[in-house]
Amino acid sequence: MHKLLHAAKLAALAILQSQASLQLLVQKEGFTDAIIDRFFKPFLGGIFFDKELNVTSRLFEFVMRMLASGENSLPANGIGAISEQMAAALPAGSIKTGQLRFYSAWWSAKVYQCNSGNKL
């Protein structure tokens, strides 16, 4: 049992040591700053809630495997149609829409500012 536990620890350590951030991975693969800023950061930053792509390359590999092998789709009217459908099922007036404006600080400081100027 002790040998098995030791082997598991060594395997976990090897996995952790072989990880890099997604940012480093896409740079290492030779993607230009333009494609990183225009594609990877908006798309994958939205998936991982990390616009700087600091997630591990292993998480990226897992998500890409799931996207490639799954049945993915978007509503014909865009991703916003999902929240509209959810809101339509709620009682009238129970939520307000169109009130939040996001700034770049949102990614790092979690600052949300309403159109009215109130911060959440």
60-113 pLDDT, tens digit each: 888 888 888 888 888 888 878 888 888 888 888 777 766 665 554 444 455 666
Q: Would you state the pLDDT for residue 83?
A: 81
120: tokens are: 């959440």
| Closest C-alpha to 28, from 68, 60, 65 | 60
Asked if 11 and 43 count as a contact pair (C-beta separation under 8 A), the reply is no
pTM over 0.85: no
- Rounded percentage of the chain residues whose pLDDT exceeds 70: 64
pLDDT at 32 over 90: yes
Q: d(Cα 39, Cα 44) in Å, to the nearest integer?
A: 8
